[in-house]
């Protein structure tokens, strides 16, 4: 199942094995980010993560397919740079900065789980067919987001937390917009080429943002052993290995089944946050989580019957 293999008759056990890899690893990336940025500058950590992942992926692809595999036009380079900025720069950048500013990882994951709502809204604005159940799911989901935000809104002198929660939502909106416009950008046909350039260009952008924000390269290289181990996990397992499993699923599994990661990942993230980061599992968080995930379930279930709401460029965390 390495890189871009497909199977004519994949077994259920292999499909579910790959799906559980996506469930658990992408659900655990919020925990990995939290641990890695405890002693690493947040933007430099994530920028270098994608630079390293794209370099390793590029080496493997050159060995397997040769240098010509990477030939793209200038227009395609610009398009993939835009996607890198929207998905990784804005989307993941806001996630990392929010966690760096003490927004609980489980809360971040639940806010990110609203991604299908934004995609469905963009599609509806374009004039695509949208089921009434999609709108019901979107409405329920945003009620859930409101429940999650409510405790922060009611706390005095808590503007920083609230600001970063809204920035996560803004980053999620950028990720959704990038996902929405991607099919219209004339990207290369090879998904792994898109993955390589998106991670490379997004990594360059996030790293430059970190340097402009005066994050220190010395602090990055002087990080603790634990932070380095979690950073390596993000590079090898979170970015490359799990993305390979996701691409294999895209080629071999029903879209409705693949899309279930959208509401399983936040559950995994919340549980890991409670178990390992001492994050509080309040009744408000539980109610908000149930409402948001139920809304995501309705939207994903409905939209996957109409068209593919997931895309090979959507899954990277």
Do 258 and 249 touch, CB atoms closer than 8 A? yes
- What's the pLDDT at 1? 40
Q: If residue 153 lies in a helix (H) or strand (E), which one and from where to where?
A: helix 132-154
- What's the pLDDT at 55? 96
Q: Please write the tens of the pLDDT for every residue from 58-75.
A: 999 999 999 999 999 999
Q: Please write the tens of the pLDDT for every residue from 181-193.
A: 888 899 898 888 9
How far apart CA 183 and CA 134 sit, in angstroms, is 21
Q: Which two tokens stand for residue 280?
A: 């509080």
How far apart CA 166 and CA 151 sit, in angstroms, is 14
Q: Please write the tens of the pLDDT for every residue from 217-258.
A: 999 999 999 999 999 999 999 888 888 788 788 678 876 677
Cβ atoms within 10 Å of 65's Cβ, excluding its own: 15
- What's the pLDDT at 7? 44
In 182-241, alpha helices (H): 191-212, 217-221, 225-233
How far apart CA 198 and CA 81 sit, in angstroms, is 6
How far apart CA 100 and CA 33 sit, in angstroms, is 9
Do 106 and 285 touch, CB atoms closer than 8 A? yes
How far apart CA 85 and CA 198 sit, in angstroms, is 9
Low-confidence ranges of the chain (pLDDT < 50): 1-8, 308-316
- What's the pLDDT at 191? 81
């Amino acid at each position: 199942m390495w890189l871009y293999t497909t199977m004519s008759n994949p077994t259920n056990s292999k499909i579910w094995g790959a799906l559980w890899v996506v469930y658990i690893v992408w659900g655990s990336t919020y925990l990995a980010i939290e641990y890695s940025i405890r002693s690493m500058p947040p933007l430099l950590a994530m920028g270098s993560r994608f630079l390293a992942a794209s370099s390793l992926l590029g080496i493997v692809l050159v060995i397997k397919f040769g240098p010509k595999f990477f030939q793209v036009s200038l227009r395609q380079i610009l398009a993939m740079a835009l996607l890198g900025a929207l998905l990784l720069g804005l989307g993941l950048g806001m996630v990392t900065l929010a966690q760096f500013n003490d927004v609980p990882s489980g809360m971040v994951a639940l806010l990110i789980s609203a991604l299908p709502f934004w995609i469905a809204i963009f599609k509806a604005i374009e004039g695509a067919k949208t089921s009434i159940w999609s709108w019901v799911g979107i409405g329920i989901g945003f009620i859930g987001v409101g429940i999650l935000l409510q405790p922060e809104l009611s706390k005095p002198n808590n503007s920083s937390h609230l600001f970063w929660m809204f920035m996560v939502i803004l980053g999620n909106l950028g990720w959704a917009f990038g996902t929405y416009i991607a099919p219209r950008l004339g990207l290369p046909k090879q998904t792994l080429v898109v993955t390589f350039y998106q991670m490379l260009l997004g990594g360059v952008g996030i790293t430059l943002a970190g340097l402009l924000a005066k994050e220190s390269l010395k602090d990055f290289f002087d990080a603790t052993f634990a932070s380095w181990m979690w950073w390596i996990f993000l590079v090898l397992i979170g970015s490359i290995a799990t993305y390979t499993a996701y691409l294999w699923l895209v080629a071999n599994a029903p879209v409705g089944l693949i899309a279930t990661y959208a509401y399983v990942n936040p559950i995994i993230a919340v549980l890991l946050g409670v178990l390992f980061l001492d994050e509080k599992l309040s009744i408000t968080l539980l109610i908000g989580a149930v409402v948001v995930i139920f809304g995501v379930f309705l939207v994903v279930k409905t939209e996957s019957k109409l068209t593919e709401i997931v895309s090979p460029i959507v899954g990277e965390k």
